[in-house]
Amino acid sequence: MGHKAFIIGTCDTKAVELCYLRDLLRAGGAEALIVDVGTGGGTAADADITASQVAACHPRGAEAVFVNDRGRAVGQMAEALRRLLAERDDVGGVIGIGGSGGTALITPAMRDLDIGVPKVMVSTIASGNVTPYVGPSDIAMIYSVTDVAGLNRISRRVLGNAAHALLGMLQGRIPEVAEDKPALGLSMFGVTTTCVNRITDGLASEYDCLVFHATGTGGRSMEKLAASAMLKGLLDITTTEVCDLLMGGIFSAGDRRLDVLSQVSLPYVGSCGALDMVNFAGPETLPEKYRQRRLYEHNPQITLMRTTAEENAQMGRWIGEKLNRSLGPVRFLLPESGVSALDAPGQPFHDPEADAALFAALEATVRQTPERRLIRCPWHINDPEFAAAAIAEFQDLMRTQSLSSG
């Protein structure tokens, strides 16, 4: 196993910048390789791994990449790069440079690398919405300020900082910690923090509790780790990302949320955390059809909208169908006294009728078995009794799994 730095970009347009990064990395003591992902079909003298060699990793061969359509060529080269990096055993870290096309080409391969492998992307679009590029991964995005089109007084500094950042990641030692406790994934939102903190406190002596903020990428990151067999169980207390998916909010995790349950068999305790709210940006961003709804200003950047009984029924059916495809044991807890800090007596989103519609839809949809159960709890989601119930159900699932595997 080596620790090489892979420098990725299109040599036909960015050879000068790629060589600059290579020279800085080598001067710092790193073994650095330039990977050409140009789609023009030429051979670049500066490339350590040529575009043809990258393209040959495509399952249909290089001819699938070098086509007379730039959009298609970029997409196919992205797939070839993804496979190239996946097949190498010497990837210590990756740095990419590009505009919108280069960023779209390089970042899918970065996302496929394990969490913790250093990944730096210098991009002209890094100051905008980078969610489609970073996704659930740990890619460090650096805004190029000027276009990635030659070296100048600005680009030398920005690219130099990026190279030195990767050097630090490659050479800096991370303190070793004995990871003898199995890892769990937990989903949390501000309005379910009390519950999740109590659960982590109750399980921390036995498990390494990884808490994910349910803002779209959080749910996807948690499920990516679960699908990679890096988690031994899930306490998915906060499924609020489903609200934003179905009602058009800004924190959707996409329609594959909960699909991990049908991909791997692992103990799952879930709940309805923050299914009372859809997230939007400032009030001016609300769609016209929602302007007269029950709203709450969480902060100047986030406006919350209370979900209706009809929307809760829709979410209950959607979640229920996902639970029905689970491979492992499932316990889904229904907090009858409220699903978030705002959904409690005297709070702005308190709506027992909407919650009842959610619970009823779940019970009508989920095909319950000894392995897959819905459990009504008389408490509020942030009550200590609810956290205790979630802990007890999870420990029971883990105990049963241990006995069956033993």
The domain locations on the chain are 4-171, 183-405
CB 238 within 8 A of CB 188: yes
pTM: 0.79
Closest CA to 160 of 28, 269, 54: 28
Separation of first and last alpha carbons in the chain: 35
Second-level CATH architecture of 183-405? 3-Layer(aba) Sandwich (3.40)
Q: What is the C-alpha to C-alpha distance for residues 39 and 55, in angstroms, rounded to an integer?
A: 9
Local confidence pLDDT in tens for the 406 residues of the chain? 358 999 999 998 899 999 999 999 999 999 999 999 998 876 778 899 999 999 999 999 999 999 988 888 999 999 999 999 999 999 999 999 999 889 999 999 999 998 899 999 999 999 988 988 998 889 999 999 998 888 999 999 999 999 999 999 999 888 877 778 999 999 999 999 999 999 999 999 999 999 999 999 899 999 989 998 889 999 999 999 999 999 999 999 999 999 999 999 999 999 999 999 999 998 889 999 999 999 998 888 899 999 999 999 999 999 999 999 999 999 999 999 999 999 999 999 999 999 999 999 999 999 999 999 999 999 999 999 999 999 999 999 999 887 666 5
Crossing angle of helices 11-27 and 153-171, in 10° steps, is: 50
**CATH top class, domain 4-171:** alpha beta
4-171 and 183-405: identical CATH topology: yes
Q: What is the C-alpha to C-alpha distance for residues 32 and 25, in angstroms, rounded to an integer?
A: 6
pLDDT at 149: 81
Pairing of β 302-306 and β 295-299: antiparallel
Closest CA to 91 of 62, 107, 114, 122: 114
Q: Helices in 172-209 by DSSP H: which ranges?
A: 193-203
pLDDT at 66: 92
**Ordered DSSP codes for 117-142:** S-EEEEETTTTS--HHHHTTS--EEE
Please state whether 150 falls in left (phi above 0), alpha (psi between -120 and 50) or beta: left
Q: What is the C-alpha to C-alpha distance for residues 299 and 110, in angstroms, rounded to an integer?
A: 33
pLDDT at 45: 83
pLDDT at 1: 37
Residue 169's alpha-carbon distances to 33, 163, 164, 345, in angstroms, are 17, 10, 9, 49
Environment class of 405 (CB within 10 Å of its CB; exposed 0-12, middle 13-18, buried 19+): exposed
